[in-house]
Structure 1
């Protein structure tokens, strides 16, 4: 299957399930829920939930497994969307455009945006621990919740964002750059692949291989993001181009130049694909997603 077709099909499955699971804006909390829904349904590539579904498929391509992974995929998208809402806030990156639309705080106000992010984060763990995920056995569900919580928390995405803010405008070396991006971007990407595999009952050996895959595509994803920030337009990105330069953030192009950065991204993708050597054709979506990540233009 062509990667574009696969992405469209899986994105639609995620969209449909999000629509079924997400709270509806009614009653006393309608304004708050509307602000959550605004950012969740404003668009997006849905890469993390699709990686979750592909991780499950690599281990077991049965329809029952794919269906069980959907609630986990939706939870991951809620967490990712919360992170974008908070990233865009005036105290953080101070951006007014996301996914081609006005950012949450420019529509609903800063306080409402903070609470929308908080709501999406906590709702994600409601999905992971409630009837929506009841078809996943309890031992696997606990491991999935722990994996995602650690990836999203103080030693993962939140910690990486904290380091990103601390070192704004400062000279940092490659090791700190890797630490920032491995935490801020890579941790949730790896958790997306692993959580899908856990739904499918992956062996320890399969999980190790898929972690290597996730770590490398997470690196490639961030390098390409850094390149697009200096090479693409605001219209292509759906968010302000050149924001890293504006905020004086250290990036791969700023440390290594564009061509070396591009080479590093391709090498990371090659390592990711090599990690899947023990998997058969069921892992082809993961292989194709790795190439898509390095070749994307937005």
Structure 2
């Protein structure tokens, strides 16, 4: 796949997701300030990596269908909820996200908390909806994967471990635990969900799970590197925020050069795993490079 066609894929499907996300909230009968808070963070931008990965897997098996866009949006809603809560004074206490005031700075802490809760529950409602064309068996499997990836053994557990690690010098193993769960599990869900909806062979699903696990580390190591040498105007938040919070990162443990070597190692690991999957994985291969080379 050429660079141009990769960019065309990203732009086309990112536009679809960007348009659909607020539509899935705007139709709700709920207090206006809660609705506004939910839509505010969904509309704040972002790379939409999780939906793009899900849709890329479906395209790899030539199985992309209309209802998949809403399932992809559900994954982005959970990611957005995690960011709203992550920014709260009780956690990272951030004032800026994607170049805009964080949700609680605009709507207050109480509504920000409720907006995060509402995005999570709305995402499950979307997957369970009787109006989508998925079979009951697929819905149950998707929701099971989803809540585990999002919950105490997944993203929430990773966030707790991240908070517990502040001000401490973590080992590389402890840092990888945080990143596998805080960042990696929802990425993994997005990829595995695409394979489940595409009715991919079980051996492919497990190989894609392994690919996604490596890709999650790639994503987070790159974030850590950008926090050191990125452009704040592109990242949308101050550079060096991890140091300010006294967090262990790949550059702090391995040096910046060591972190870059680790990034290359896990990217190669991801690609080697992907090469063992049936179907046309060219797009996922290119998206791996995109995650490695991104500047925000």
1:23 corresponds to 2:26: yes
Instruction: Check whether the contact 1:219–1:268 (CA below 8 A) recurs between aligned residues.
Output: yes
Instruction: Check whether the contact 2:25–2:35 (CA below 8 A) recurs between aligned residues.
Output: no
1:89 corresponds to 2:107: no
Partner residue in 1 for 2:253:
255
Cα distance in 1 for residues equivalent to 2:160 and 2:85: 12
Partner residue in 1 for 2:79:
80
Secondary structure, aligned partner of 1:257:
helix
Answer with 66-75 or 96-105: which moved more. Answer: 66-75
Cα distance in 2 for residues equivalent to 1:296 and 1:281: 26
The offset of 1:270, in angstroms, is: 1.2
**What CA RMSD, in Å, does the superposition of the two structures yield over aligned residues?**
1.5
User: With structure 2 as the length reference, what TM-score do the two structures score?
Assistant: 0.95
1:206 corresponds to 2:204: yes
**Number of aligned pairs?**
293
1:286 corresponds to 2:284: yes
Cα distance in 1 for residues equivalent to 2:243 and 2:208: 33
Partner residue in 2 for 1:49:
51
Partner residue in 1 for 2:191:
193
Cα distance in 1 for residues equivalent to 2:262 and 2:123: 33
Gaps of 5+ in 2: none
Runs of 4+ displaced beyond 6 Å? none
Instruction: Check whether the contact 1:157–1:183 (CA below 8 A) recurs between aligned residues.
Output: yes
The offset of 1:234, in angstroms, is: 2.0
How do residues 1-298 of structure 1 correspond to structure 2 at under 5 angstroms? 1=2, 2=4, 3-24=6-27, 29-58=31-60, 60-62=61-63, 65-132=64-131, 134-279=132-277, 282-298=280-296
Cα distance in 1 for residues equivalent to 2:171 and 2:231: 28
Instruction: Check whether the contact 2:25–2:38 (CA below 8 A) recurs between aligned residues.
Output: no
Cα distance in 1 for residues equivalent to 2:206 and 2:105: 42
The offset of 1:28, in angstroms, is: 5.6
The offset of 1:131, in angstroms, is: 3.4
